[in-house]
A and B are shown apart, each in its own frame.
Chain A
Amino acid sequence: MDHLDAGLVSEFVVESQEGLANIERQMLAIEAGGAEVDLDLVNSVFRTMHTIKGTSGFLGLDRIGALAHGLEEVLNAMRNRELATSSELVTTILHSADFMKSLIDCVETSNEADITQYVASLQRLRATNGPSVTAPVAAPSKPIMAAPAAMPTAVAQDAATTETSKATLTFVDECFKNLDQMDRDLCALDQDPVNATLAPRIFRTMHTIKGGAGFLDFGSLELLAATAEELLAKLRDGKVALTDNISLSLFETIDKCREGLLILRATGSGSLDFDPAVAIKNLKNAQRQSLGETLAENEPDVEKKLPLGELLVLRGQTAPEDIAAALAAQKTGDTRPMGEILVQRGAAKTEDVVAALKSQETRGGPTSEGNIRVDVGLLDKLMTRVGELVLARNQIVQYTSRLDDPSFVRTAQRLNLITTELQESVMKTRMQPIGNVWGRFPRVVRDLSSQLGKQIRIELEGQDTELDKTIVEAIKDPLTHLVRNSVDHGIETPEVRVAAGKPAEGVLLLRAYHEGGQVNIEITDDGGGLNLERIRKKAIERGLLSADQAARMSDRDASQLIFSPGFSTAEKVTSVSGRGVGMDVVKTNIEQISGTIDLQSRLGHGTTIKIKIPLTLAIIPALVITNDGDRYAIPQVSLLELLRLDGADAQQKIERFQGAPVFRLRGKLLPLVYLSERLGISQPKTETSQGGSSEAANIVVLRANDRQFGLVVDKINDTEEIVVKPLSRQLKGLQEFAGATIMGDGAIALILDVMGLAVSAGLVGEMRDQQRVGSSGADKLDAEPIEALLVVDLGDSRRFALPTSMISRLEKVATSNIEYADGREVIQYRGAIMPLVRLSEVFGSEHDESEVAEELQIVVYAEDGYRCGLVVRRIVDIVETQLQPSTRSADDNLLGTAVIQQRVTDVLNLRRLARRRTTSKFSALASQS
Chain B
Amino acid sequence: MIQRTQQFCTFYVDDLFLGVDVQQIQEVIRYQAMTRVPLAPQAISGLINLRGQIVTAVDLRCRLGLPLRKSDETPMNVVLRDGDNVVSLLVDRIGDVLEVNEDLFELPPLTVRASVRGLVTGGYKLPARLLLILDTSKTLAECEPRCRLEPTLAS
User: Hey, which bits of chain A sit against chain B, CB under 8 A?
Assistant: 388, 391-392, 630, 659-660, 671, 679-681, 725, 727-731, 733-734, 736-737, 740, 742, 746-750, 760-762, 784-785, 787, 803, 882-885, 888, 892, 895-896, 907, 909, 911-912
Contact = CB atoms under 8 A, between A and B. Distances in A.
Given A630-B35, A630-B36, A912 B153 contact: no
Contacts of B107: none
A737 B36 CA distance: 13
Given A727-B54, A730-B41, A896-B152, 11 more contacts: A680-B39, A729-B140, A730-B40, A731-B44, A731-B56, A750-B47, A760-B149, A762-B153, A883-B154, A885-B152, A888-B152
A712 to B, nearest CB: 14
A733 B40 CA distance: 9
B23 interface: no
B72 interface: no
Contacts of A761: 155
Nearest to B86: A728
Contact of A731 (B40, B152, B153): B40
B16 to A, nearest CB: 21
17 contacts: A391-B52, A660-B154, A727-B56, A728-B54, A728-B82, A729-B85, A729-B140, A730-B41, A731-B44, A734-B40, A740-B54, A747-B33, A750-B37, A762-B153, A888-B152, A895-B152, A896-B152
Nearest to A388: B52
A671 to B, nearest CB: 8
Nearest to A801: B153
A912 B151 CA distance: 11
B49 A742 contact: yes
A895 B39 contact: no
A884 B35 contact: no
B148 interface: yes
A748 B56 contact: no
Interface in B122-155: 140-141, 143, 145, 148-155
Contacts of A883: 153-154
Contacts of B82: 728-729
A460 to B, nearest CB: 39
A883 B140 CA distance: 39
B81 to A, nearest CB: 12
Given A730-B87, A737-B37, A747-B33, A760 B49 contact: no
Interface of B: 33, 35-41, 44, 47-49, 52, 54-56, 58, 82, 85, 87, 140-141, 143, 145, 148-155
A759 to B, nearest CB: 8
A748 B155 contact: no
Contacts, number: 101
Contact of A907 (B49, B55, B153): B153
Contacts of A895: 150, 152-153
Given A725-B54, A728-B82, A730-B140, A748 B152 contact: no
Most buried by B among A630, A731, A882, A895: A731
Interface residues of chain A: helix, strand, loop or mixed (majority)? mixed
Given A630-B36, A730-B87, A737-B37, A680 B148 contact: yes
B33 A762 contact: no
B151 A760 contact: yes
Contacts of B38: 630, 679-681, 736
Given A388-B52, A750-B37, A728 B150 contact: no
A760 B152 CA distance: 8
A762 B54 contact: no
Nearest to A739: B54
A747 B38 CA distance: 16
Nearest to B33: A747
In the A-B complex, the 5 residue pairs with the smallest Cβ-Cβ separation, listed nearest first, are A679-B38, A748-B35, A728-B56, A660-B155, A388-B52
B37 A734 contact: yes
A474 to B, nearest CB: 21
Contacts of A392: 52
Nearest to B48: A748
Nearest to B51: A388
Nearest to B44: A730
A734 B39 CA distance: 7
B47 A748 contact: yes
Most buried by A among B52, B87, B151: B52
A884 B152 CA distance: 10
B39 A679 contact: yes
A635 to B, nearest CB: 17
A730 B150 contact: no
Contacts of B39: 679-680, 734, 736
Given A630-B36, A727-B56, A748 B153 contact: no
B54 A885 contact: no
B56 A884 contact: no
B92 to A, nearest CB: 21
Contacts of B148: 680
Given A728-B82, A728-B85, A760-B149, A659 B155 contact: yes
Contacts of A912: 150
A784 B153 CA distance: 9
Contacts of B36: 630
Nearest to A787: B153
A895 B36 CA distance: 28
Contacts of B48: 748
B35 A733 contact: no
A884 B47 contact: no
A750 B37 CA distance: 8
Contacts of A742: 49, 52, 54
Contacts of B87: 728, 730
A680 B140 CA distance: 24
Contacts of B40: 730-731, 734
A727 B155 CA distance: 27
Contacts of B37: 731, 734, 737, 750
A881 B155 CA distance: 15
Nearest to B83: A729
A762 B143 contact: no
B144 to A, nearest CB: 10
Nearest to B150: A909
